[in-house]
Amino acid sequence: MALVPLYGVIGNPIGHSLSPVMHNAAFAATGQAAYFNAFQVEDLETAMAGVRALGIAGLSVTLPHKSKIMEYLDWVDDQALKISAVNTVVNRQGRLCGYNTDAPGALAALSGKIELSGRRVLIIGAGGAARALVYGVAEAGGRVAIVNRSAERGAALAQEFGVQYLASSEIENFQAEVLVNTTSVGMAPASELIPFPPTLIKPSMVVMDIVYNPLRTKLLEAAEKCGAVTIDGLEMFIAQGALQFEMWTGQKAPLKVMRQAVLNALGDDRC
Ligand code: ATR
């Protein structure tokens, strides 16, 4: 099976994805004659038949296809199966293999600031991104609790992974050391929204937001104001992308180049 050095992100909508900018910068910086494209995909089954027929070398997968894509793969690794989501496909000589780099990407972002083992980690949200975070942090030895707008969904996720679900009145007692927002609350254009009461943020906390547009969300602004350590959404986005790049190419990802390319695209000139 002849593969072509073509990669892409599939999702719907896909117009605002920063994956092409990030991965094409990485390919260029490492001298690879490869190209990464964004594909808006409605009919996943037909799209995956196309990937096979054309010999596309790898995919990044985003909403709403992260779970459904597993039906069209030849093999899915254990972590991705437990999270029930694949965000990375590697075409190995015609065999489509699925992985999840969101969980290790989130851990890489967190571990730059804190050793998670034994820490009390409060996860906000119970959607797809929360699943990766809850799984990853629990595997790393963190003591996880979940809060969510819909109690039913939050409690179901907590039960599935054997962690705690907290009602709003129980948040303070939990004494979280790490707080992670996995919801889209605070994302542009509704960037004035905050997913957690600012009064419950403590200076001793590490606060991470997976939202990266804007980079400095209301949550991170409130955390900074009270002296907490913050981790912005770009950290996880770059980390999960770097792991994808390494799986596809077998080469070390040029992290700085990837970060700068995404910052440029976001219209931010920080280094
Ligand atoms: P994803 O797969 O990207 O995580 P999702 O499955 O739609 O997306 O999950 C979104 C998460 O953000 C959920 O936890 C959702 O809360 P509900 O389970 O109550 O729906 C949360 N969320 C989305 N919009 C929200 C809002 N305005 N306020 C609070 N939580 C919100």
Look up the CATH number of the domain holding residue 219. Answer: 3.40.50.720
Instruction: Specify whether the CB–CB gap between 100 and 87 falls below 8 A.
Output: yes
Q: What's the mean pLDDT in 74-97? A: 97
Same structural domain, 260 and 143: no
Q: How many CB atoms lie within 10 A of CB 33?
A: 7
Q: Are residues 157 and 220 in the same domain?
A: yes
Domain contains 51: yes
pLDDT tens-place string over residues 154-197: 999 999 999 999 999 999 999 999 999 999 999 999 999 999 99
C-alpha span between 76 and 70 (Å, rounded): 7
Q: Is residue 73 part of a domain?
A: yes
User: What pLDDT does residue 268 have?
Assistant: 64
134 domain residue, yes or no: yes
Same domain? For 64 and 119 the reply is no
On whether both 183 and 245 belong to a single domain, the answer is: no
Q: Are residues 25 and 88 in the same domain?
A: yes
- Tell me what pLDDT residue 269 has: 55
Q: How far apart are CA 58 and CA 68, in angstroms?
A: 17
Residue 211 has pLDDT above 90, yes or no: yes
Q: 107 and 95 in one domain?
A: no
Shared domain check, 178 and 191: yes
Same domain flag for 155 and 240: no
- On whether both 118 and 220 belong to a single domain, the answer is yes
Ligand 1 probe mutation, 12, 134, 184, 213, most atoms within 8 A of CB? 184
**Can you name the residues that pair with 88 across neighbouring β-strands?**
60, 99
Residue 214 is predicted with a pLDDT of 92
Q: Where does the pLDDT of residue 270 fall: very low under 50, low under 70, confident under 90, or very high at 90 and above?
A: low
Within-domain flag for 140: yes
Has 66 been annotated as catalytic?
yes
What's the CA gap between 174 and 156, in Å, rounded? 19
Ligand 1 in reach of 67 Cβ (< 6 A): no
Task: Verify that 77 and 111 share a domain, yes or no.
Answer: no
pLDDT at 147 over 90: yes
Classify residue 1: in a domain, yes or no.
Answer: no
117 within ligand 1 shell (Cβ under 6 A): no
β-pairing verdict for 56-61 and 88-92: antiparallel
**Full residue range of the structural domain in which residue 179 is found:** 103-231
Confidence of residue 2 (pLDDT cuts 50, 70, 90): confident
Task: Kindly report the average pLDDT of the chain as a whole number.
Answer: 96
Ligand 1 pocket check for 153: Cβ under 6 Å: yes
What is the pLDDT confidence band of residue 16, given thresholds at 50, 70 and 90?
confident
Protein residue whose Cα sits closest to atom 10 of ligand 1: 127
What pLDDT was estimated at residue 207?
98
CA–CA dist 248, 250 (Å, integer): 6
User: Distance between CA 261 and CA 138 in Å, rounded?
Assistant: 32
Query: What is the rounded distance in angstroms from the CA atom of residue 110 to the CA atom of residue 235?
Result: 9
> 46 lies in a domain?
yes
CATH of the domain at 51: 3.40.50.10860
Specify the number of domains making up the chain.
2
Give the tens place of pLDDT for each residue, 235-257. Answer: 999 999 999 999 999 999 999 99
| Residues 79 and 167 reside in one and the same domain | no
Closest CA to 183 of 171, 172, 194: 194
Q: Is residue 271 part of a domain?
A: no
208 with 90, same domain? no
The pTM (predicted TM-score) of the whole model is 0.94
- Neighbouring CB atoms inside 10 A of 8's CB total 25
Q: Would 153 be classed as within a structural domain?
A: yes
The alpha carbon of 91 and the centre of ligand 1 are apart by a number of angstroms equal to 32
